[in-house]
Amino acid sequence: MKRFDWRDEIHRLDAEADCVRIVQILTSHEFPWDMGRALGIALYRTYAVPSIGELLGRTDEFTGKTQKRYDDTALILGNMMRYGFEPGKGRDALRRMNQMHRSYDISNDDYRYVLSTFVVMPVRWLNDYGYGWRRLSDHEISGITNYYRKLGKYMGIKDIPETYEEFRDLLDTYEKENFAYTEGGRAVSDATLDLMVTFYPPRVSGLARKFSMAILDDSLIRTFRYDPPGRGWRKGADIALKLRAKVVRRMKPREEPLWADLNPNIRSYPDGYDIDKMGTFPATCPVRHNVDPVAHEELYGAEGDHPREAASSGADAETSEAAKADDRA
């Protein structure tokens, strides 16, 4: 297999109809490490929005159970990428994510912003920052955009941007207008950075923390009120990542896909995992959201996004009625 064969395969695919396959190739073959870093930064950015950072801080999930939340997020998103949105593991992961989100009062604007980070940050990491071993083409960027537009639709998000440029403008405007310090956001940020350090050998943990800070942009450093990294660290991190890109460019293409399940930093499930048991299960009733009913019915049918629970409840009701009849007899 030649170095650019995967790129050529992507360009034989349709950017809209085959967007899932395009993202699968980019994530598991062409840029597995880079996509992981870019999507990690995408999620991290959301902590700087007060409504998001405070919510995550209140749940204690990202501060008290940081490793598990990292693992659950990676595996749920990874299963959707690997299996798509058709019935099966990908659909199960999507349903589990939607069930979790329904338990919290999250605005459509916040949903749109979070979605924009997942569209924009991979492009910025690979193209704008120059950390990819090659640049993404416009065709590939369209594929990424269409994948997340489809995901947003199945999450019931309204007014989803139609193009990459619209997602980029949304992200920049939303951050400019909303980034602000909160105790909850800072706590989640600290916990996340502390976890990242554990992914490296203990002897270099101090350097790993400084390196992680050096790749955060100034808006995040200011918002979380961290001491700015020195110019030397900024320059050194930038050079190191660009040198890595040059080395990777000369490597053979990855023929076997690298999925989230194989990530050694995922440590919570050494004996395997069940998507239906992952994530949060808050002891509160679902919050009513103004979701797009067309998208939800197309994906889940008329029963909504938790047909298993509905079926189970129906069975329980029948059992209960049968028991009452027996008692009366």
Report residue 167's pLDDT band, with 50, 70 and 90 as the boundaries: very high
pLDDT-based confidence at residue 293 (cuts at 50, 70, 90)? very low
Which of 235, 238, 213 lies closest to 224 in space, CA to CA? 213
Q: Is 251 left (phi over 0), alpha (psi -120 to 50) or beta?
A: beta
User: Residues 298-319: pLDDT tens digits?
Assistant: 666 655 555 444 333 343 433 3
Of residues 200 and 161, more confidently modeled:
161
The arithmetic mean of pLDDT across residues 53-61, rounded, is 91
Residue 290 has a pLDDT of: 57
Q: Give the confidence band of 60 by pLDDT, cuts at 50, 70, 90.
A: confident
